[in-house]
Amino acid sequence: MQAATHSQRPARPARGIFGLSAPIGAAGDILIYKSIAALAGAGLPIVAVVNWFLRGTVSWPQLVLCFALSASALTCWALSRTGRREVAAALLIGLIWTTTTIYAVESGFGMHSALVFMYLPCVLYTALFFGLAIAAGELGLTIAALVVMYVAEETGRLGGAAQFVKTGANFNFLLAVIFISAGTLVVSLIYHRRIERDASSLADEAEQRRVAMEQAQTAQAQLETANARLQALNAELAARMRQHTVESVRARRDLDLYHDAIVKDLPASLAAMRAALAAPDEGTEARLHKEIARMASLAGLLGALRDQSEPPLRHEPLLLSEMAHAVAAGLRARGRYARVRFDVDPGMRAQADRELVAALLGHLLKRAAIACQAEAEPQVHIGSGSREGRPVYFVTDNGPALDESARELLFRPFSRAARPEDTVDIGIVSSRRIAERHGGELFVESEPGRGTTYFFTLAPDDPA
């Protein structure tokens, strides 16, 4: 019963027809034992009736044999139910084979005994229980026993056919052969039907497991897809939170600028105008014009910051070199900056809002032109490069360098300590806000003898 213990130990690989494992199972055990018990039990009355009819007496050896087989089958069945199935099967087959051999020899009939045909179900049951390899060994042992019987008959040690004719009958022989062969065939057919039914059940179970596995794989794929979407949404939310934090910092910075402008600079300008009007002199008109210009610049800054904070941006491919040339030509046309030389690197490109970037270039080029116009050869250079793997653009002038205090007050244009002698320049503040709206930044570097450079970026993935 190798198949009966298949779930407890791995099956050995098949090695040809003699390496095939037996297909017998628990249901097959019961069928085999029942079939042997039924054949032996049915044989009892048949053997008794036939012998009584032919010889006027029953054949006790044959009845004892049938009874022994029936009792052995029932005993082995009970033994198999305790879990020792292989022992029970081997014991039953051995009893049948040994009893058949003993009867064939002790009766003197030899291989002419009808019970010799019990060798056939023995080989069949061995193949079912233990496989073809062991069944082949049993077949060889059976052939050896038959050869021994043949030799014994030829030498006169067994009566053989003569003994059978003297004490038996051909009808009895024929009936026994038919009974054994037909019983074996019927049991084989029933067992075959049961095997087919079990195989169909196993196939259905395998199909159900396959469908369940496919459903599990589909559910796993859906779960992975949902998890990927969740991670993407989480990353998007984190990016939005970071952007919100950056925007909050910028908004607080702009509010501080508004506060300084409205709370400090506007009252200071009004107070200066009242003082000038209270004590007029020759410079009163100039002071009034200067404070009016400062207030106008304040209003312009507030409006510019408001406009530059309004979404959305209109991103489009820009030819920065051509835009810089156009802005420079406009400045030179005013006459005040006619002496300034504007050098523009060719091939500069970006992806940004055209109007805002044009305003940024206008602010930076005008500031650079103002800074260097007093030089003997004023010069402004507009170019591009790379900084930490990101495209960066710059505007450089050859004017005087900004000292540290001036750079600190650069983005506080209304501070009177920054430019007490001039009107307010809000261009640098607007330029920084434009760069930040595009996801970039603006910063300034200034060294004596090298003028001032304004660097700006527009986006992390700007094309070079």
- Mind listing the domains of the chain with CATH numbers? 3-168 (no CATH), 313-464 (3.30.565.10)
Give residue 11's pLDDT. 43
Say what the pLDDT of residue 25 is. Answer: 47
Query: What average pLDDT does range 321-340 have in this prediction?
Result: 89
pLDDT of residue 417: 44
- Section 83-111 average pLDDT: 80
Return the SS3 of 401. coil
Q: pLDDT, tens digit, for every residue of 391-448?
A: 899 999 998 888 777 777 777 765 544 443 444 567 888 888 888 888 888 989 888 8
Q: Which has more pLDDT, 115 or 396?
A: 396
pLDDT recorded at residue 423: 43
Please tell me which residue, 260 or 101, carries the higher pLDDT value: 101
- In 410-425, which positions are buried (b, 16+ CB within 10 angstroms) versus exposed (e)? bbebbbeebeeeeebb
| Pick from 11, 20, 31, 26: nearest CA to 135 | 20
Nearest 5 degrees, angle CA 127-CA 147-CA 124?
15
CA angle 419, 420, 423 (to 5 degrees): 65
Q: How many CB atoms lie within 10 A of CB 453?
A: 17
User: Residue 241: pLDDT above 70?
Assistant: yes
- How far is it, in rounded angstroms, from Cα 61 to Cα 66? 9
Mean pLDDT along residues 126-134:
81
Q: What integer best gives the mean pLDDT of the chain?
A: 75
Amino acid at 21: S
What does the pLDDT look like over 299-320, one tens digit per residue? 666 665 555 555 577 888 999 9
Answer whether 0.95 is exceeded by the pTM: no
**Is residue 14 pLDDT above 50, yes or no?**
no
444 forms bridges with which residues in the sheet?
454
Please say if the pLDDT value at position 383 is more than 90: yes
How much of the chain is in helix, strand and coil states, percent to nearest 5?
A: 65, 10, 25
Token pair 């020759």 is found at 282
* pLDDT at residue 8 tops 60: no
Q: 289 or 317: which carries more pLDDT confidence?
A: 317
Query: In Å, how far are 10, 362, 434, 441 from 394, measured between CA atoms?
Result: 76, 13, 15, 12
Q: Do 458 and 452 contact (CB within 8 A), yes or no?
A: no
Give the tens place of pLDDT for each residue, 165-220.
666 655 666 666 677 777 767 766 776 677 778 778 888 888 899 999 999 898 88
In this prediction, residue 320 carries a pLDDT of 92
